[in-house]
Amino acid sequence: MADLQTFTRLCVRPLSNHLSRIFYAFRKRLNDDNVTDVVSLFILKSLETILNALVKDERAILQYQDDVVELYEPLVHILKQSSSPSLSHAAINVLVYMNKMCPCSVYVNTQRLQNIISTIVHVYVGSSATQEQRINMLTVFGQLGALSPTLSLSAADVSSQSTIN
């Protein structure tokens, strides 16, 4: 997995013939309840790296959109079931990149969208997070439509809130 992350950071194009299978394998492992948190965390970090590289290529976005959409359910399941803050934050980081590739609101009905938002709110309220993690959570809230675009929360606002708390 570490080799996959390193290779993806350097160049994602040679992986393009295998990405559908990689996404399928990741989805299958994330759906498995017997997978340890460490393995799930490694999968999420690998997904974050891969999606970060794919977001930069419009053709890759169109090619792998359907595969990426199928990862929403396992991610929401992790957010609901995990008691590990690092696992929850890793899932949120993956959601940020997933929503850049294919907005959740297009593929998920309103009820499930509200379910995702409430799950992320639970993670947001229930854990202490770094500034970067808070910004990622706020980004996901904005991507899902939970924050009004007219609300101007900048990184400075987030950091001032963290010093108050």
How far, in Å, are 7, 56, 70, 89, 91 from residue 134 at the CA level? 28, 23, 25, 9, 13
Tell me the C-alpha distance between 30 and 36, whole Å: 10
Q: What pLDDT is stored for residue 30 in this prediction?
A: 92
Residue extents of the structural domains in the chain: 2-164
| Mean pLDDT in residue range 65-69 | 88
Residue 8 has pLDDT above 70, yes or no: no
- Of 96 and 144, more confident: 96
Q: Which residue has the tokens 């194009």?
A: 13
Cα(149)–Cα(139) distance, rounded to whole angstroms? 11
Tens digit of pLDDT for each residue in 121-156? 877 776 677 888 888 888 888 887 766 555 554 444
Global pTM value: 0.76
- What does the pLDDT read at residue 124? 74
